[in-house]
Amino acid sequence: MSRATPTALIAAMACALAATVLLLNPLATQAQDTSNPPAQAAPSSSTQAQNIANSPPPEYVSRAEYDKLKAEHEAMKQELEALKATVQQLTGAAAAVPAATPAPKEGVSEGKQVAAATTPEAVTPSPAEAETAPAELLGPLATHAFTIVGDAEVQFGKISGQHGAFMLADFAPIFLFRGGDRILFEAGFDFILQNNAPDSAGSTTTVNLSFATLDYLINDYITFVGGNMLLPLGTYSERSAGWLNKFPDAPLPRAVLPSNGVGVQLRGGIPIGDKGPSVTYSAFVINGPSSVNGSGNADQLDLGGNVGLTSDGRFANLHGGAGEGGRVAVFWPWKSQYDLEVGVSGMSSSWDNAGRRQYSALVADWALHLSPYVEVKGEYMNTWVGTDDAGTITPRGWWIQAGYKFAGLKLDVPYLDKFELVGRYDRVDDGLGSRTSRGTVGGVYYVTNTLWLEADYEFTMNHGPVRLPDDSLLFQVSYGF
Amino acid sequence: MVSNDVAMRISKDSNTFFHTPTKLMCLFTTAIISAAVVTISFPATAQTPAPHSKTKEKVKTTTQVKEDPLSGAELWTMNCSRCHMIRSPGEFTAAQWQTILMHMRVRANLPAAQAREIQKFLQAGAGK
């Protein structure tokens, strides 16, 4: 066995050390990469593999890699700019944003940066805050909390054959009380001011309970709802608050459907993948429609009165049966603010006191968004009502609504960018010989994202004994809070 | 010079046209469709400069970026703007957002996971 010289020994140790470092370095790099959150990780796993494989020293990048990263960066910047513009329009703060918008930061995931750029007046979350804030905030938050949201509308109307008038169309607060992570009580009211004339002087304030429900989140896919519910027949009844509806009034054919019901409901949403699409469902059991005088005559159908407690204090459903129904829908976005929602809903219930006559409804609804500027939506509804005096009648109708935000023209004209042109056509057949169709054209001016000025002209065509005013001119100020 | 008869006829025709509901609706529909076609055909013209090179590679890399699950901010824009103008995070406190998100999860049938992501995002920028 020969003796090695110290120099040779040191050289051998240095070689062994260098070899160990080279062997361990890629492993360390991989471990570090996997520990990074996805938003901050460099491009993709395939890119990382390529980096490792093309190893001239790992701290250098090739020209191809540099160009690829640069192209990716440019693409992200363009997407950011486009998204910023769209959300600026939605928030109604287009004028204020350019000055207030912080410059995009390197290495930030695009969604978070978009959000930061579009909420100039807010305390804008930085990416780090977005990651860490929930953990910090959820701890000290109270388990029970009370919140009021809602809307209010002031209106001026000039209806043909009547004097023009101002009115407080609606003050509609929604009380929300959260009792922990799973329980929510919500109640919506409508305060309406009405003239007492010609019966007496003064005015009367009417308070309607729009809905009042106890919600319990059973799990991620099922929520129990009980109480006075907005019925998921189509989408209008659940999405008709003054600052959601771009017109001061409801589509005519909604009159053939009950808007509320007292009962219980199971509902929820099931995601399809992680890109946003989902399937939603609602299934309810309620008292159902009733008869004003108990008979099955066609003109006595009451779609909203059977709330379980009668005016003489009796605790009773007016008929023996219950009403059952539900809705199934698919929401399919293919990119941000380009989406289609299609739903089918229906219900069935007996309605006369004897429980011999049946009310059934079938509704199809759809809503299409093509960019932040174009919206088209509508509903078709058909009902079948068995009656004592008119056989089975079929009240039915449909409506379609379209809107276009002028910001989509990219004219950068002050005020014009905050304007939306809207139109609606609705048609109803009451099943008893009267058919009414109505066209509405108008516009919405977005002072802010929740304060709107609306102006609409409606022209109505009547056929049959039931007649609505021929023309109406309506102005409305809507505020959502 | 247009004779009185012709002028009257033009005036009468114009009035008839603009007071005919069906034609007015047709005009409106045409305007909406035209505007929509312009918007969809030339998306974000002002904001998006023309790509300068390697278009193919850009498309590929953009797809790679989109492979991640949607962030809370993206879900916020995607879901909230379906029914109403979006609300800025700073409009409500973190506690209020928790209550409002619970309300919206029930009302809009939002999938729970998406509602949680939106809530995280809104609470991160909530007002005090």
Domain ranges of chain A: 66-134, 142-480
A202-240 pLDDT per residue, tens: 999 999 999 999 999 999 999 999 999 999 999 999 998
- Nearest CB to B57 within list A68, A125, A239: A68
Note whether A241 and A285 are within 8 A (CB): no
Among the residue ranges A35-44, A331-340, A445-454, the one predicted with the least confidence is A35-44
Rounded-to-integer distance, Cα B85 and Cα A162, Å: 34
Residues of B in contact with A270 (CB under 8 A): 111
Contacts of A114 (CB under 8 A, 6+ apart): A80, A83, A84, A87, B73, B74, B77
pLDDT > 90 in chain A, percent? 57
- Closest by Cα among A164, A190, A312, A323 to A250: A190
> Least CA distance to A423: which residue of chain B?
B28
A415 φψ region: left (φ > 0), alpha (ψ -120 to 50), beta (else): left
Instruction: Locate the domains of chain B by residue range.
Output: 4-41, 69-124
- Nearest CB to A178 within list B61, B71, B98: B98
Structure tokens at A150: 């809602």
Rounded-to-integer distance, Cα A362 and Cα A234, Å: 9
CA atoms within 13 A on the CB side of B13: 6
Judge whether residue B22 has pLDDT over 50: yes
Q: CB–CB of B106 and A425 under 8 A?
A: no
Find residue A362's DSSP bridge partners.
A346, A382
Q: CB–CB of B107 and A238 under 8 A?
A: yes
Please tell me if residue B34 touches chain A, with a CB cutoff of 8 Å. Answer: no
Burial classification of residue B64, based on how many CB atoms lie within 10 Å of its CB (0-12 exposed, 13-18 middle, 19 or more buried): middle
Please tell me if residue B16 touches chain A, with a CB cutoff of 8 Å. Answer: no
Please tell me if residue B95 touches chain A, with a CB cutoff of 8 Å. Answer: yes
CATH superfamily name and code, A142-480: Porin (2.40.160.10)
**What backbone phi and psi angles, to 5 degrees, belong to A435?**
-125, 135
CB pairs under 8 A between A and B: 290
Query: 0.80 cut: is pTM over it?
Result: no
Round the average pLDDT of chain A to a whole number and report it: 81
Mutate to test the interface with B, among A73, A84, A90, A335 (most CBs of B within 10 A): A90
Residues of B in contact with A439 (CB under 8 A): 21-22, 24-25
Rounded-to-integer distance, Cα A5 and Cα A264, Å: 90
Contacts of A433 (CB under 8 A, 6+ apart): A464, A465
Mutate to test the interface with A, among B30, B48, B68 (most CBs of A within 10 A): B68
Rounded-to-integer distance, Cα A124 and Cα A112, Å: 10
Question: What's the pLDDT score for residue A227?
Answer: 97
Please tell me if residue B2 touches chain A, with a CB cutoff of 8 Å. Answer: no
- DSSP assignment of A218-245 equals -SSS-EEEEEEEE--SSSGGGS--TTT-
Rounded-to-integer distance, Cα A227 and Cα A184, Å: 12
Find residue A342's DSSP bridge partners.
A330, A366
Q: How far is CA B12 from the centre of its chain?
A: 39
Locate tokens 């309607």: which residue? A208
The reply to whether omega before A198 is within 30° of 0 (cis) is yes
- Nearest CB to A82 within list B48, B65, B82: B48
Note whether B49 and A78 are within 8 A (CB): yes
- Nearest CB to B46 within list A267, A268, A410: A410
Where does A255-402 have alpha helices with state H? Answer: none
Question: What's the pLDDT score for residue B25?
Answer: 63
Structure tokens at A99: 């000055």
Note whether A108 and A127 are within 8 A (CB): yes
Rounded-to-integer distance, Cα A257 and Cα A250, Å: 12
**Mean of pLDDT values over B54-77:** 65
- A331, amino acid identity: F
Contacts of A417 (CB under 8 A, 6+ apart): A89, A94, A406, A407, A411
Highest mean pLDDT (candidates A50-59, A148-157, B14-23): A148-157
Mutate to test the interface with A, among B30, B39, B128 (most CBs of A within 10 A): B39
> Least CA distance to B32: which residue of chain A?
A404
Q: CB–CB of A111 and B88 under 8 A?
A: no
Question: What's the pLDDT score for residue A463?
Answer: 93
A103 compared with A156, residue with greater pLDDT:
A156
Mutate to test the interface with A, among B24, B62, B77 (most CBs of A within 10 A): B77
Q: CB–CB of A145 and B103 under 8 A?
A: no
Find residue A341's DSSP bridge partners.
A331, A367
- Nearest-Cα distance to chain A for B7, in Å, is 27
Please tell me if residue B97 touches chain A, with a CB cutoff of 8 Å. Answer: no
Judge whether residue A8 has pLDDT over 70: no
Judge whether residue A116 has pLDDT over 70: no
Find residue A343's DSSP bridge partners.
A329, A365
Note whether A204 and A134 are within 8 A (CB): no
Mutate to test the interface with A, among B106, B116, B120 (most CBs of A within 10 A): B106
- Closest by Cα among B128, B109, B103 to B119: B103
Helices (H) and strands (E) in chain B, counts: 6, 0
- DSSP assignment of A118-177 equals H-TTS-PPPHHHHHHHHHHHHTTS-SEEEEEEEEEEEEEEEETTS--EEEEEEEEEEEEE
A156 compared with B25, residue with greater pLDDT:
A156
Q: Helix B72-80 vs helix A110-118: angle between axes, to the nearest 10 degrees?
A: 60
Question: What's the pLDDT score for residue A217?
Answer: 98
Indicate if ipTM > 0.90.
no
**Mean of pLDDT values over A245-250:** 93
- Nearest-Cα distance to chain A for B116, in Å, is 10
A367 φψ region: left (φ > 0), alpha (ψ -120 to 50), beta (else): beta
**A13: confidence class by pLDDT, cuts 50, 70, 90:** low
Find residue A148's DSSP bridge partners.
A175
User: Chain B, 48-87: which have a CB under 8 Å from a chain A CB?
Assistant: 48-49, 51-54, 57-59, 61-62, 64-65, 67-79, 81-87
Judge whether residue A93 has pLDDT over 90: no
Find residue A443's DSSP bridge partners.
A421, A455
- Nearest CB to B87 within list A142, A371, A449: A449
- A132, amino acid identity: T
Q: Is A353 helix (H, G, I), strand (E, B) or coil?
A: coil
- Nearest CB to A72 within list B61, B126, B127: B61
Residues of A in contact with B82 (CB under 8 A): 331, 339, 341, 367, 369
Please tell me if residue B37 touches chain A, with a CB cutoff of 8 Å. Answer: no
Note whether A377 and A367 are within 8 A (CB): yes
Classify each residue of A388-403 as buried b or exposed e, where b means 16 or more C-beta atoms within 10 Å of its C-beta: eeeeebebbbbbbbbb
